[in-house]
Structure 1
């Protein structure tokens, strides 16, 4: 992989003859490293830092900023080793190019809570490399050895002499990068580990930040697409005449995904689509019905599926147990519902294409556009804007909003901004699938598990995608069973079996914030709570007994419980529940305090404790834990999509509601000091909240809620 001449000139021209430094990210490095990589680990570049003559330090990010804070966090890594003036640092999204491929996913993609830990070593290394080159440039001017010079706060000094990084940038750019560098000892960090406010906040507050929906330029038209009304329906015919009579509507063109209405502005396009007459062939078999589907999933859960884990003699263990608990849980289809509407802007000029889009997958966008247009990928320029929420929805690999924008622009022959309305998004597919779980646990005389049989049923997220060969083993999608097969609760149980069924449906499925952990944590932590109460034990003490030999889990659980006042009676009319779950290398424990108000669950307090290894920016970690709680709590209390005859019944926030401001609990976040490998932080706050709330409801009402969303009425 190499940088093309065009990409180099694009980046270099922006540096105004300053220092342009590139580096390669060949392997994921989650732990805080002790030494720099060898020269062999630094071949072709896939990320850049620029030091400009105006003293600016610009970090180009191979990942998308969608609210998770990497605009600041990744820049901190370079700034730490560059010894620069933090007030001069800014970030930009890198262009789409193979050199920016994720070191693990091997595609330019943001996801899996991996942006910081995958780049931790390399971003620091490039900062150290840039500093070395600047120091050598200063030493050459003064005709002294580099060891006689010192860098700090964007200035190189030797005695009373000093030169700023901006003054040295042009000379430094002419030097060869060092073959090795020494990184700071963690005890000498000045930025990493401190509470740093976000670089993108000022422009987002002022309205200067540009999201995909904000793109405008002369000659741009707006389009909306009429999609099939039900999953499995296909376009039979359409009549554009009524749509073309709407003032402002200019064209009506068919595309692979439906019929596009192109107009001078959004409202005209929307009204034109409303007026468009189209006929659709009905779905085969009349269409899907989620009530019927749930019954089928539950029936399948009573049979062993494709086996993911099989240790000991499970059936014999269940039969010989002192007693047995049989538990069934289910969770619904969920939409991602990011606040910024989906869409993208496309301009086709001869054999070149420009795309402006809020995407987690600029590489996939570039590849799909090239395929649609029949041009080489390097002739597609993708401009990644800020993302108004992603949660996995903007990372789809199939024919979705970004490729659809390309198809519409190609068919219409004009630059087009495609806009999906909220209804298009809620009803447009790419959901977290519906799942049913059946858990059978045999316990001994002390109430401790000795046999565990767990069956999960739900469609595969990666089935039928390029990821299937990697992520589906022996018929089991790893995302379906993550959080179960690696659960610390199951590890000491002598007889345990985990299996899965993955029925196929025409409903597009996609990773949703925390992916499989979004449902497996709910089931595991609810089941453990049921076992604790059945044994007549305190839920905290019961968990700690099962977590012997798992000190990180135990520490997080004990800290959250202590800070929440576990063991002390809550206020009258309130109950507390807890949960602890590991995902993406981070362990999060949460304690929820709830009440029931006129038949509705009200969550007042959530206390979080997190062990994520090295904490780069504690302020950002707090924000992500709070965000994860809000996202997970919204789903726990409200999230549910209903299909009848293949049609999604929900359409907007009035019937697919978000958590409101007045419902927001107080969320306290406590970060554990840890020398463990660095984990992710964007998603791990979401999985524990649903079971913590469900367990709190049981503590308060003695009613066990096994279905999401949680209902007490």
Structure 2
């Protein structure tokens, strides 16, 4: 979700101090209470149905109750390093691991427990997992805020979860040593059991209560990767049975006693308002409880229909007679927007790179190219939803929320402000989410604030039950926050050997960060770093890169792999074109460019080439190879594809992936992530994959006019991982960017023309 540019968020693990201050400003009081309570060496004793456990505990409002007489001296460990918030061991030996992320399909609800269980030496058959919440313990340890994004879940918490497991194991061993009266160094562990002299055995469940009284070690020795028995092994997901049987509960499935459901009529033009409203027919629909005017994102206004269930709420909304006022707001038209972008692309903008392009004019070979990329909706299978329960009055007011959120801390603060409830009185229940791709990580917390506004208005109307605000698929696709539209212009000069002598490049597109709290320190010298990530690297080329960030009345947001969704396409199709233009094989040309400076790129590409049979295997008539390689979020993915073109329709038949993500925690999840990302990358190429506007109104509304790939579109996908014992890198997003350019490069081989300059593909 975030750039790997050093001008923005440093994906290596630092967050600008300004953002940390912003994120935690409203939590300072609660944080200080939580930190004081957590800075203790003993675990909190929790009684559960299964007996005593190493238990997770709330870190905000209730944290002050944890200061107990006789507690050991304070520890210097941070909340994120304390096992008590992450591990619960029941008397029967069941280990429940709390994850500090949202799982919305990427598999971290299995991957993070695997890491902790490895160092804990747990019996994997007894390991379960659950989501955390907005407590300080569950911030991303690298970014310092609650965040699922930037493909950082495993990467940023790898060492954290190893140490959590090792600390818990050390406490269990210490408890056993005390019980047996022996030195802890004489004991060993194996699959949930501490083994002592003479074969004595105590299970983790038997030791849990005593282990809670042991000091939390600040320093622990971690395993040598050669000792791993869980990490690196193909492992089925802990949620697989629930999902495959229909038993998995998502945010949309929340059910509370007496709960009401609300749907909102949004203005057709962003930031529009209600001019006139006739709600007579809506109120007559059986089950409708209230019709409420509510403030919306970006200063707009909508009408919420609150009812006993979704269908009644929808029927009520359909019966509304609303006249909208869109005066004073811009009405974007995609045709005009594209023309204005193309005009801007002819001018140099704010500079990102200022390479020497003096030899461009006299270069013997030249490429002049213009690319266009449309707005894209996230369109997750589970539409947006948020359930809000309000209680109490005044200083005693409380709120409880249920939703799948990528930023529970930020959303808690936004809910606090919208509801007028103190942050420590807002409880966030993070739910499994059915996809998101960035749509559930919004700087404005737009859909969360909307749900809070609805709940507050409902309470003002005398409705005290919890209110679930639910978006339909149409609401979601027409509702904004899209991957921005972009235009690229490139002028390239090179010689007969393929040496690039000059590359002048301009990108036009809205800033994702403009107008958000991130802008002040993530937009540098007029350049939004998220838009230019993926440009230039890893190729050592003289590039002048500049950008224009026009402001339009269309809300934009990161979309799976962010800037790399378009920069990878431009870079990899143009690099291919330079290779072909100088009579070189595209693979050989790339390997020569990588040289010895980019061994991970070389390894990923060579693996994909070797496994695909590229250059050695004869393809079926009418098919051609296509190649692309790209690094995003510190992971390199190379694709070698087979494609054909029939009746001006491109068809993708097979994908071979070479992946360098360093240590693969769960190869099964790596394979699934690459397959899913490749499919989403394919979705950008298919006819209809564009969000367009006319007179300010989004023209698409559902999968009928914003299609996703069908099973008949899915090629075979073979995934191969470069072996490595180095700490893992991100994987949620890197599989997407190189798919479209690899496909396009195969089309270029077949047609003898440059790769398509526009997405989705238009060959006719």
TM superposition score normalised by structure 1: 0.94
Q: CA deviation at 1:470?
A: 2.2
Counterparts of 1:79-118 in structure 2, within 5 Å, are: 79-118=117-156
Residues 488 and 508 in structure 2, CA contact (< 8 A), matched pair in contact too? yes
Aligned to 2:19: none
Query: Which secondary structure state, in structure 1, belongs to the residue aligned with residue 257 of structure 2?
Result: coil
Q: For 1:462-507, what per-residue CA distance to the aligned partner results, in whole angstroms no more than 9, with x for missing partners? A: 111111122100000000100004x111x2x2x3211111101111
Q: CA deviation at 1:530?
A: 1.3
Structure 2 residue 54 is the aligned partner of structure 1 residue 19: yes
Aligned to 2:477: 426
Q: For 1:69-114, what per-residue CA distance to the aligned partner results, in whole angstroms no more than 9, with x for missing partners? A: 1111100111101111111111111121233222233221100000
Q: For 1:249-288, what per-residue CA distance to the aligned partner results, in whole angstroms no more than 9, with x for missing partners? A: 1100011121100111111111111111111123547611
**C-alpha distance in 2, partners of 1:319/1:44?**
55
With 44-53 and 245-254 compared, the bigger mean Cα shift is at 44-53
Aligned to 1:308: 352
**C-alpha distance in 2, partners of 1:422/1:445?**
52
Residues 63 and 360 in structure 1, CA contact (< 8 A), matched pair in contact too? yes
Aligned to 2:325: 281
**C-alpha distance in 2, partners of 1:58/1:221?**
32
Q: CA deviation at 1:453?
A: 1.0
Residues 86 and 97 in structure 2, CA contact (< 8 A), matched pair in contact too? yes
Question: Match for 2:258 among 219, 222, 228?
Answer: 219
Question: Match for 1:595 among 637, 644, 658?
Answer: 644
**C-alpha distance in 1, partners of 2:647/2:105?**
35
With 280-289 and 661-670 compared, the bigger mean Cα shift is at 280-289
Q: CA deviation at 1:674?
A: 2.7
Aligned to 1:378: 424
Query: Which secondary structure state, in structure 1, belongs to the residue aligned with residue 450 of structure 2?
Result: helix
Aligned to 1:135: 173
Aligned to 2:71: none
Question: Match for 1:126 among 140, 158, 164?
Answer: 164
Q: For 1:172-206, what per-residue CA distance to the aligned partner results, in whole angstroms no more than 9, with x for missing partners? A: 00111113211101111111111111111111122
What is the RMSD of the two structures over their aligned residues, measured on CA atoms? 2.1
Structure 2 residue 529 is the aligned partner of structure 1 residue 478: yes
**C-alpha distance in 2, partners of 1:695/1:319?**
26
Q: CA deviation at 1:232?
A: 4.3
**C-alpha distance in 2, partners of 1:373/1:285?**
27
Residues 691 and 699 in structure 2, CA contact (< 8 A), matched pair in contact too? yes
Q: CA deviation at 1:23?
A: 14
Aligned to 1:488: 538
**C-alpha distance in 1, partners of 2:268/2:133?**
36
Aligned to 2:13: none
Structure 2 residue 746 is the aligned partner of structure 1 residue 706: no
Q: CA deviation at 1:397?
A: 2.1
Aligned to 2:437: 391
**C-alpha distance in 2, partners of 1:619/1:100?**
26
Query: Which secondary structure state, in structure 1, belongs to the residue aligned with residue 513 of structure 2?
Result: coil
Distance 1:285 1:389, change over 3 A: closer
Q: CA deviation at 1:675?
A: 4.7
Distance 1:151 1:186, change over 3 A: same
Structure 2 residue 665 is the aligned partner of structure 1 residue 611: no
Aligned to 1:448: 499
**C-alpha distance in 1, partners of 2:449/2:91?**
39
Q: CA deviation at 1:398?
A: 1.1
Structure 2 residue 551 is the aligned partner of structure 1 residue 501: no
Distance 1:327 1:44, change over 3 A: closer
Question: Match for 2:337 among 275, 293, 308?
Answer: 293
**C-alpha distance in 2, partners of 1:534/1:677?**
39
Structure 2 residue 560 is the aligned partner of structure 1 residue 516: no
Residues 251 and 263 in structure 1, CA contact (< 8 A), matched pair in contact too? yes
Structure 2 residue 490 is the aligned partner of structure 1 residue 462: no
**C-alpha distance in 1, partners of 2:640/2:35?**
54
**C-alpha distance in 1, partners of 2:571/2:329?**
35
Structure 2 residue 687 is the aligned partner of structure 1 residue 649: no
Aligned to 2:213: 174
Aligned to 1:323: 365
Structure 2 residue 726 is the aligned partner of structure 1 residue 679: no
Q: CA deviation at 1:660?
A: 0.4
Q: How many aligned positions are there? A: 693
**C-alpha distance in 2, partners of 1:686/1:161?**
52
Instruction: Give structure 1 stretches of 5+ with no counterpart.
Output: 25-38
Aligned to 1:360: 406
Residues 264 and 304 in structure 2, CA contact (< 8 A), matched pair in contact too? yes
Residues 574 and 594 in structure 1, CA contact (< 8 A), matched pair in contact too? yes
**C-alpha distance in 2, partners of 1:538/1:174?**
65
**C-alpha distance in 1, partners of 2:457/2:58?**
40
Q: CA deviation at 1:317?
A: 1.6
Q: CA deviation at 1:148?
A: 2.0
Q: CA deviation at 1:237?
A: 2.5
Distance 1:44 1:585, change over 3 A: closer
Q: Which runs of 4+ in 1 moved over 6 A?
A: 5-11, 21-24
Aligned to 2:10: none
With 396-405 and 682-691 compared, the bigger mean Cα shift is at 396-405
Residues 23 and 45 in structure 1, CA contact (< 8 A), matched pair in contact too? no
